[in-house]
Amino acid sequence: MNRVSIFGRSVEIRPLHRNRTKETVIATATCAPAAPCEDRRIAKSRRALRGALIELMEERGYDALTVNDLCERADTSRGTFYNHFRDKDGLLAVLEDEVMADLDALQGRMQSITLADMLAFRATGRPLPFLVELFDYLCEQSDFLHAVLGPGGDVRFGPRLREAVCENLVQNILHEKYRDNPTVFVEYYVAFYAAAYLGIIAHWIERGCPESSETMARIAMRLLFIKPGESIELQVGRKSDEEKHQEQQVH
């Protein structure tokens, strides 16, 4: 068989068909796979392993699954797995870190939120755009979050989510004079609402995210300001006396 060079690539000339009048040949290029193809294969394997991890955590719990289980469910070889992850903990850590990195990317928008912003949006019944975006992302990741926050998941991830999202959110909407307040009560206030917000997220995900992100953003805002004995219905475009009083204090 002859080899020639075409556009810098080594090509093998291989006769594939003969007839009585001429020989038909097809040139087949034999070159190294392009990087994009390799990237797609890696991405496909990672998606398969992600799906397998979620399914197995839901079915039998994280502690009970093995690398063999993951590879079998993902239809992936152990060699492929160990090319990218040292063990199942490495796979879980990568997936959790990706979620946390995405949430960190939202921190800039969260840090710009003030109590006045919250009250202004609540008074008009409009959801805070950042919260809508946050719930949009949580919904996109709901299959993974449902598994990792569930009884068969990773008990360490809930506190990470609470600290990265819930505590920072509560801290940012505190009145300026309390944000750097070291008193014990302020610490408990932040811890109380951070745990409550994590509960909202977990409950929503557990139910399959039936409410829209806009509705969840409004619910989250309403629950932050509700007082014992007040109506627990969402109120759109209507200010209570308490809201008016809070706005006067802010301004």
- Give the pLDDT of residue 125: 74
CA-to-CA separations, 81 to 49, 60, 68, 175, in angstroms, rounded? 8, 20, 10, 49
pTM above 0.75, yes or no: no
φ and ψ at 11, to 5 degrees?
A: -125, 135
- Give the pLDDT of residue 189: 86
Q: Is 15 buried (19+), middle (13-18) or exposed (0-12) by CB count in 10 A? A: exposed
CA distance 239 to 247: 10
- Give the pLDDT of residue 157: 96
Render each residue's pLDDT in the chain as its tens digit; 251 residues.
444 333 334 434 344 333 433 333 333 333 344 456 667 888 899 999 999 999 999 999 999 999 999 999 999 999 999 999 999 999 999 999 999 999 888 876 776 777 777 777 777 778 888 889 999 999 999 999 999 999 999 999 999 999 888 888 787 777 666 767 668 888 898 889 899 999 999 999 999 999 999 999 989 888 877 776 777 676 554 444 444 444 444 44
Q: Are 2 and 14 in contact (CB under 8 A)?
A: no
Residue type, 124: T
- Give the pLDDT of residue 130: 86
